[in-house]
Amino acid sequence: MKYEIKCIGVLTSGGDSPGMNAAIRSVTRAAIFNGIRVKAIYRGYKGLITGEITEFQTQNVSNIIQQGGTILKSARCAEFRTPEGRKMAFDNMEKHGIDALVVIGGDGTFTGARIFAQEFNVPIIGLPGTIDNDLYGTDSTIGYDTALNTIVEAVDKIRDTASSHERLFFIEVMGRDAGFLALNSGLASGAEAAIIPEKKTQLAQLEELVKNGFRKSKNSSIVLVAESELTGGANALAEHMRTEYPEYDVRVTILGHLQRGGSPTAYDRIIASRMGVAAIEALLEEQRSVMIGIVNDVIVNVPFTKAIKDDKPVNEKLLNVLHMLSI
């Protein structure tokens, strides 16, 4: 069944990430430029079910490109996981004359979008908005670069205290089951090690660091830890070190939601703007159920199934770089 796209809905779902507003702005203005009306859907899929929908004009997205968070808000929605909830969402789409959706979020957002598209034959395009950078098919997700810079700035400040008091700091960063933030912020901040879920043998490497580096040539050390059951998190690793090496002053800092906030970097604003335009172009080209990605600075379309199910590998060679530079 062929759709003529006259009106699109745009929503943000899942965890917020810097650059989402830039993406909303881009989608809205690219659609209007191409003669397509835009309906803003508040609070993600929940708003699609409850009917929190309003029409956007170009002025609605003025002066938001520099703002963190999302002006459309975000919310978890257990009801959208049910056939009844998705039917209510589709009924509201029809009620508001929405022909297609652009959804901005992570793998959970795209999982819901893929099921919804299959059930109701709705054209949906996804934009990767997550600081974790864990979606297959794109070099970078919207918000990742900003989060990375936020972490590095925080680690630089912690380094001052670590050096002053000769401490070993474990700094936990977000990433869930992906080590991109921990590994790259470790490199950028001059950390001594990065503990990531993709690498299973790092505890021994960490102990080697403490024996050979911290004891002999360092009066302080910084270790970046990805939050994950696979790594155990910063607190578990710190407790292990306190037990094995009670002579050291071990401290923990969990950066938490600090990493999600703040004004997006220029890079995040640029890729959000490019991806938003590409989403509208994809709809006009009758694409559906694809995520807009960027690979080697070129926009690509990635099927939801691949973006969600395929694992995005970290470059483990960067661990060797970090190891060499930590001596």
pLDDT, tens digit (0-9, with 9 covering 90-100), for 281-291:
999 999 999 99
The pLDDT of residue 214? 60
To the nearest whole percent, how much of the chain has pLDDT over 90? 76
Instruction: Identify which of 177, 130, 175, 63 has the alpha carbon closest to the alpha carbon of residue 271.
Output: 130
Does residue 267 surpass a pLDDT of 90?
yes
Does 246 or 258 have the greater pLDDT score? 258
176 band by pLDDT with thresholds 50, 70 and 90: confident
pLDDT at 166 over 80: no
pLDDT surpasses 90 at 112: yes
pLDDT bin (cut points 50, 70, 90) of residue 219 is low
Domains of the chain (ranges, CATH numbers): 7-143+264-309 (3.40.50.450), 144-260 (3.40.50.460)
Q: Tell me the β-bridge partners of 184.
A: none
pLDDT category, 161, cuts 50, 70, 90? Answer: confident
Give the residue numbers marked as catalytic. 132
Of 22, 228, 41, 232, nearest to 134 by C-alpha is 228
| SS3 category, 307 | helix
CA nearest to 204, candidates 215, 193, 191: 193
Q: What is the mean pLDDT of residues 173-194?
A: 92
217 burial level (CB within 10 Å; 0-12, 13-18, 19+): exposed
Using CA atoms, how far residue 299 sits from 8, 154, 214, 293, 312, in Å, is 21, 32, 44, 6, 17
198 band by pLDDT with thresholds 50, 70 and 90: confident
Query: What would the pLDDT profile of 59-68 be if each residue is shown by its tens digit?
Result: 999 999 999 9
Q: Where are the beta strands (DSSP E) in the chain?
A: 7-12, 37-41, 53-56, 100-105, 124-128, 167-173, 193-195, 221-226, 249-254, 290-295, 298-303
Asked whether the predicted pLDDT for residue 213 surpasses 60, the reply is no
Reported as a single tens digit per residue, the pLDDT across 55-104 is 999 999 999 999 999 999 999 899 999 999 999 999 999 999 999 999 99
pLDDT of residue 291: 98
Q: What is the overall mean pLDDT for the chain?
A: 92
The pLDDT confidence band at residue 218, using thresholds 50, 70 and 90, is low
